[in-house]
Amino acid sequence: MPDPVRLTLNRDSGALRGTHRMFIGMAAGVGKTYRALGSLHEHLSAGEDALIGVLETHGREETKRAADGLPVFSRREIQHGNVTLSELDVDGLIARRPGIVLIDEIAHTNAPGSRHEKRWEDVEALRDAGIHVLSTMNVQHLESLNDTVARLTGVRVRERVPDHVLRAADELVLIDLPPEDLRARLRAGKVYGPEKIEQALGNFFTVPNLMALREIALRHVAQAVELDVPDGQPAAHEVVVVAIAAEATAARLIRRGGQLSGRLHGELHVVTVRAERLTPEQGRLLGTFREITGALGGHFEVLERQGGIGDTLVAYARKAHATQIVMGETSRSRWAEFWRGNVIRFVLRATRGVDVHVISRD
Tens digits of per-residue pLDDT, 288-301? 999 999 988 899 99
Nearest Cα neighbor of 192 from 352, 331, 355, 57 is 57
Confidence of residue 308 (pLDDT cuts 50, 70, 90): confident
What is the dihedral sign for C-alpha 186, 191, 197, 202? negative
What backbone torsions phi and psi does residue 316 show, to the nearest 5 degrees?
-70, -40
Average pLDDT, the chain: 86
Domains of the chain: 5-226 (3.40.50.300), 239-359 (3.40.50.620)
pLDDT over 60 (residue 15): no
First to last CA, the chain: 39
Give the distance between the most distant pair of CA atoms in the chain: 74
Task: Quote the CA–CA distance of 74 and 93 in Å, as a whole number.
Answer: 9
The whole model's pTM is what? 0.67
What backbone torsions phi and psi does residue 128 show, to the nearest 5 degrees?
-60, -30
Q: Using the 8-state DSSP alphabet, how is residue 73 labeled?
A: P
What backbone torsions phi and psi does residue 8 show, to the nearest 5 degrees?
-90, 130
SS (H, E, C) 206-268: CHHHHHHHHHHHHHHHHHHHHCCCCCCCCCCCCEEEEECCCCCCHHHHHHHHHHHHHHHCCEE
pLDDT of residue 214: 87
Tens digits of per-residue pLDDT, 154-207? 888 899 999 889 888 998 888 988 899 999 999 999 999 899 999 999 988 999
H helix or E strand, kind and range, residue 53: strand 50-54
Beta bridge partners of 22: 135, 172
Q: At what angle do helices 207-226 and 146-153 cross, to 10 degrees?
A: 160
Tens digits of per-residue pLDDT, 39-93? 999 999 999 999 999 999 998 999 999 999 999 999 998 888 888 889 999 999 9
Task: Quote the CA–CA distance of 333 and 49 in Å, as a whole number.
Answer: 65
